[in-house]
Amino acid sequence: MEGPFKYIREGNGKVTRVIRMGTRKSQLARIQTDSVAEKLKELYPDLQLEIVAMSTIGDKILDTALSKIGEKSLFTKELENALERNEVDLVVHSLKDLPTSLPPGFTIGAVLQRENPHDAVVLHPKNAGLTLDGLPEKSVIGTSSLRRAAQLKKRFPQLEFENIRGNLNTRLRKLDEKDDYAAIILAAAGLKRMGWETRISQVLGPEDCMYAVGQGALAIEVRARDRDILEMVSILHHPDTVLRCIAERAFLKQLEGGCSVPVAVYTEMKNSVLYLTGAVYSLDGSDCLKETMQTNIELDNKVPESAEENVHVGITANNISQTALDAAERLGVVLAKILLSKGAKDILTTARQLNDAR
């Protein structure tokens, strides 16, 4: 029983393997990891789990806008290093933090059922009861996301948008204890998981603000060679969420977008048809390219011929129809190519340059 894994001997002499779960230290990350641990314990009652929390670059650099740090894997690198060194066996992430290309040797073994993927408005207590439309002119809205700012500047030109950083607790404290912001924009999913739903004044629909790729979904990253762990977590895959997120990630990857450019999506699965709306924006939202496409999703029993064949934008899903996965990925690629043919590259390059120059 030598090797990289950790084992414990129980009182009855039985030896059990311990599965070590890596997570960021923030309260939200811990809540998300605990929820995954609970699901695994329900499915595998004999499983021994240990949670290993660590800080990432994104947690440490709190005075700079994420889009300016210029690192694709801000919230994931340290966790992946631990995975590589066999210090943990799997890592729980917010899928939107994971780059569309993972380092060699890693794969996403499960994408769990998506929470509400939309963004939410959280108002300063003095503005209780209002919506963004009802706020006084020149009110300052805090958001750390170029995607949110670009869309909302276009939709609410009377408001002003400023950067706000920190984890959820920090941002809410900055909002409540100072008078700098009339409201802040946060992901509805995080607020709900933290039990702060009562703070949501307004959920922004796709006509106001489309969401980030993968927003609202949790992902479990594993070592691609650990077939047993891959099989163990794959039961947590939520097929609709997987297909929607593969289309979204393929769209982003084809555009070569990341944290430093405003790219937004909206997906829906209805009656075996997957709909994807994708858009790119200039930083001020004045330039926008937006298109919607759909594809039929057929859930047949076609299985992959090789392990490599079954990885779609970093996600391994052996228990979901290969035909369906291929169709979802193709949808994202084709939609991105349409936007690129209409000039998306120029919009994104300008946005990137302007952001770097700030």
Q: Are residues 232 and 325 in the same domain?
A: yes
User: What is the spatial distance between Cα 181 and Cα 149, in angstroms, rounded to a whole number?
Assistant: 14
Domains identified in the chain, total number: 2
226 is catalytic: no
Q: Is residue 4 part of a domain?
A: no
Q: Which of 203, 222, 255 is the last residue of a domain?
A: 203
Q: Is residue 235 part of a domain?
A: yes
Q: Is residue 59 part of a domain?
A: yes
Q: Which amino acid is at 127?
A: N
Q: Are residues 183 and 235 in the same domain?
A: no
Q: Which amino acid is at 90?
A: L
Q: Are residues 218 and 153 in the same domain?
A: no
CATH of the domain at 152: 3.40.190.10
Place of tokens 């609970």: 38
Q: Are residues 246 and 109 in the same domain?
A: yes
Q: Is residue 2 part of a domain?
A: no
Q: Which H or E element spans position 2?
A: none
Q: What is the pLDDT of residue 55?
A: 76
Q: Which residue range(s) make up the domain with 148?
A: 119-203
User: What is the spatial distance between Cα 20 and Cα 86, in angstroms, rounded to a whole number?
Assistant: 9
Q: Are residues 226 and 166 in the same domain?
A: no
Q: Are residues 217 and 86 in the same domain?
A: yes
Q: Are residues 220 and 111 in the same domain?
A: yes
Q: Is residue 89 part of a domain?
A: yes
Place of tokens 């939520």: 238
Q: Are residues 256 and 340 in the same domain?
A: yes
CATH of the domain at 283: 3.30.160.40
Place of tokens 């977590």: 233
Place of tokens 């064949």: 309
User: What is the spatial distance between Cα 335 and Cα 246, in angstroms, rounded to a whole number?
Assistant: 13
Q: What is the pLDDT of residue 358?
A: 75
Per-residue pLDDT of the chain (358 residues; tens, 9 = 90+): 334 556 666 667 676 789 999 998 889 999 999 999 999 999 999 899 999 998 765 555 545 554 544 545 556 788 898 999 999 999 999 999 899 999 999 999 999 999 999 999 999 999 999 999 999 999 999 998 999 999 999 999 999 999 998 888 899 999 999 999 999 999 999 999 999 999 999 999 999 999 999 999 999 999 999 999 999 999 999 999 999 999 999 999 999 866 668 999 999 999 999 999 999 999 999 999 999 999 999 877 776 666 566 899 999 999 999 999 999 999 999 999 999 999 999 999 998 888 888 7
Q: Is residue 17 part of a domain?
A: yes
Of 97, 119, 226, 287, which residue is the catalytic one?
Answer: 97
Q: Which of 179, 203, 227 is the last residue of a domain?
A: 203
Q: Which of 181, 203, 225 is the last residue of a domain?
A: 203
Strands 90-94 and 15-24: parallel
Q: What is the pLDDT of residue 73?
A: 53
Burial label, 263 (beta-carbon count in 10 A; 0-12, 13-18, 19+): buried
Q: Are residues 193 and 242 in the same domain?
A: no
Q: Which H or E element spans position 161?
A: strand 160-162
User: What is the spatial distance between Cα 300 and Cα 323, in angstroms, rounded to a whole number?
Assistant: 7
Residues 193-206 as b or e (16 or more Cβ within 10 Å = b): bbebeebbbbebeb
Q: Are residues 144 and 94 in the same domain?
A: no
Q: Is residue 317 part of a domain?
A: yes
Q: Is residue 1 part of a domain?
A: no
Q: What is the pLDDT of residue 1?
A: 32
Q: Are residues 275 and 306 in the same domain?
A: yes
Among 154, 151, 180, 155, smallest CA distance to 165 is for: 180
5: left (phi over 0), alpha (psi -120 to 50) or beta: beta
Q: Report whether 317 contacts 234 (CB < 8 A).
A: yes
- The DSSP line for 27-46 is HHHHHHHHHHHHHHHHH-TT
User: What is the spatial distance between Cα 344 and Cα 124, in angstroms, rounded to a whole number?
Assistant: 36
Q: Are residues 130 and 186 in the same domain?
A: yes
